[in-house]
Structure formats: C-alpha cells, structure tokens
C-alpha cells in the first residue's frame, strides 16, 4: 500500500510540467510584445518551474521504490534532495531577475502593447494558481514534501507575476519606466525568502531532524498512561524522512515480566501510537527497570 502511493503522485508532477510549459510560452509572448524586463524575469522563473517539476517527477518515481538490502529504510528521503534543488533554483531565479533588472534600472526603456501583455500574464498566473492549489492539496493529503515544495514554488511564481503585472500597469499609467525593473527587484527579494526556507527545510530533513513538536507531544501523551502499570520510557528519539517518520524509545518493565508480556506491551504501545500517527515506524527496546544499567542511556531523551 505504501509503495503504490508515490506512483500515483507522479501524475501531479506531470501536471506541474504541463503548467510550466504553458506559462513559459505565455510569458515569453508577453515579453516579446511589451519589451518589459518584468515579463522577461517572470518567464525566466517559469523555466525554473519546469526544471524543478522534472526533478520532482524523478524524486517521486524514486520514492516509490520499495525498501531493499541497500536502502533498508526505503527511498522517501530523496524528496529532501528535490526540495533542496527547488530552493536552489529559486535562488538562481532571484539572482537572474536581479541581473536582468539592474541594467534596465540604469537605462530604462519604453514598453509596448502593454494591454495585451497584461492579459496574457493574467492567464499565465491563473494557470499557475490553479495547479499550485491542486499540488498543495495533494501534498498535504499524501504527506508529500516534494508536492508541497512544488506547490509553494508555483505560488511564488503567482506572486511574482502579480507583482510584475502591477509594475507594468503602473508604468503604463504613470510613464515612469524605471518602475518596471524596480518591481522586478522587489519580486526577486520576495522569492529569495521562499528559496531559503526550502533549503532550510531540506537541510533539516537530510540531517535527520526530529519530528515536529506537535507529533512528539502526541507520542508522549500516548505512552503516559502506561506508567501507571509500572512501565517507564526514556531515550525517546524521532526523525523525519519526508512522508515517513521514525520513532525509537526504551521501555523499562518489571524484571519478573515474561518475554511475552514485554512483547505484548510493545505491540500495544506501537499500535496506539500508529492509530494517531499512521505514517510512523516505531522501534521499542525492552529493558528491566530494576537494572541500573537500563538508566545509563537516559541522557538520550530528546523530549
């Protein structure tokens, strides 16, 4: 069941690729008609969208592969590479926009056929907005970092286009030609923030960052009632792996318990946690509570 899900998600990557191709053509047409550096910068960012959508397709295809002897925890972590690539490409887009806009800021040029260029850009923006909403909903539903990153990237492109449209419209109204590259530079600064956030998120995942505090707190609440049975837990550790999460802990039980009693407890605890967090893989190490050695690793508790 888990392995078939990423395969289904690849259709969303194909949707993103199709949207990127359409918006590239529309924005290049708007630039060709208007000679606006804002529209050109917007088109350049859409090329980034196409590249990242192709990478997302590859990441989702790889993530679909089942665990094997070489990668016994599966391939889901490849989504962090995809997210990091998208963040890097967004930074590249921001730099490209700045490099393109600065010369126009120094030597402004008049715009042409602004009206039709604005209409074309609005259409391109609507295409990206609709696809971004579809990808975001799918990413949240299937817990896919790749789809969520792609959706955020597309929404960044929507904001870029809106800013460019506003700038070009104001240029047409006021005749202030330098406003076109100024708006482009402001948009570059805005998408820079999104790129940095994606890179940080990818870095945390690749460094085995813990699960979000909300999930860790939910795990702690789930195991709390078992302390009334004379059971203690420590060395609780978690890590994120895109759509999957991993939890390990030590359960300290009375030394006179049978192996079966301890095993049954571990199975029940795991089942209780998975009922609330079904995407987690859980590992519980059993130790006798009377043995002082069992407490030597208590400093591993990261709660």
pLDDT of residue 2: 40
**Lowest mean pLDDT, pick from 53-57, 196-200, 210-214, 215-219:** 53-57
What is the enclosing helix (H) or strand (E) of 99? helix 78-106
What does the pLDDT average to over 12-31? Answer: 89
pLDDT more than 90, % of the chain = 18
* pLDDT band, residue 199 (cuts 50/70/90): confident
Tokens of 177: 């030609």
| Mean pLDDT (whole number) for 131-138 | 90
* Collapsed DSSP state (helix, strand, coil) of residue 41: helix
Does 48 have pLDDT greater than 80? no
What are the tens digits of pLDDT across the range 257-294? 999 999 999 999 999 999 888 888 899 999 999 988 88
In whole angstroms, what separates CA 101 from the centre of its chain? 29
Q: CA separation (Å) from 189 to 38, 44, 120, 158, 295?
A: 14, 15, 24, 15, 51
Q: What is the share, in percent, of the chain residues with pLDDT greater than 70?
A: 95
pLDDT of res. 299:
65
pLDDT value for 266: 92
Q: Which residue has the tokens 């948009």?
A: 187
245 has a pLDDT exceeding 70: yes
pLDDT band of 115, cuts 50, 70, 90 = confident
Which of 56-60, 76-80, 212-216, 297-301 is predicted with the least confidence, judged by mean pLDDT? 297-301
Which pTM value belongs to this model? 0.64
pLDDT value of residue 265: 92
251 beta partners: 233, 286
Domains and CATH numbers, the chain: 4-206 (1.20.1510.10), 213-300 (3.30.70.1350)
Instruction: Quickly state the pLDDT bin for 242 (edges 50, 70, 90).
Output: low
């Amino acid at each position: 069941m888990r392995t078939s899900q990423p395969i289904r998600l690849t259709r969303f990557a194909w949707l993103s690729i199709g949207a990127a191709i359409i918006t590239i053509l529309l924005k290049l047409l708007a630039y060709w008609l208007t000679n606006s550096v804002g529209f050109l910068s917007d088109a350049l960012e859409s090329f980034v969208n196409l590249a990242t959508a192709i990478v997302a397709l590859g990441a989702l295809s790889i993530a679909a592969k089942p665990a094997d002897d070489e990668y016994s925890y599966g391939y889901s972590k490849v989504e962090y590479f995809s997210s990091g690539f998208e963040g890097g490409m967004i930074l590249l887009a921001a730099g490209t926009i700045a490099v393109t806009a600065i010369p126009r800021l120094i030597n402004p040029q008049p715009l042409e056929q602004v009206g039709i260029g604005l209409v074309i850009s609005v259409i391109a923006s609507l295409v990206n907005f609709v696809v971004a909403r579809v990808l975001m909903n799918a990413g949240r539903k299937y817990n896919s970092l790749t789809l969520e990153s792609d959706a955020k990237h597309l929404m960044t492109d929507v904001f870029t286009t809106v800013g460019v449209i506003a700038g070009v419209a104001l240029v047409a109204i006021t005749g202030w030609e330098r406003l076109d590259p100024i708006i482009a530079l402001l948009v570059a600064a805005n998408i820079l923030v999104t790129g940095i956030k994606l890179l940080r998120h990818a870095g945390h995942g690749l460094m085995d960052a813990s699960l979000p505090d909300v999930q860790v707190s939910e795990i702690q609440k789930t195991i709390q009632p078992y302390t009334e049975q004379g059971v203690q837990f420590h060395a609780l550790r978690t890590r994120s792996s895109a759509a999957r999460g991993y939890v390990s802990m030590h359960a300290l039980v009375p030394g006179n318990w049978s192996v079966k009693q301890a095993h049954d407890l571990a199975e029940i605890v795991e089942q209780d946690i998975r009922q609330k967090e079904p995407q987690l893989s859980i590992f519980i190490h059993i130790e006798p509570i009377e043995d002082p050695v069992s407490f030597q690793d208590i400093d591993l508790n990261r709660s």
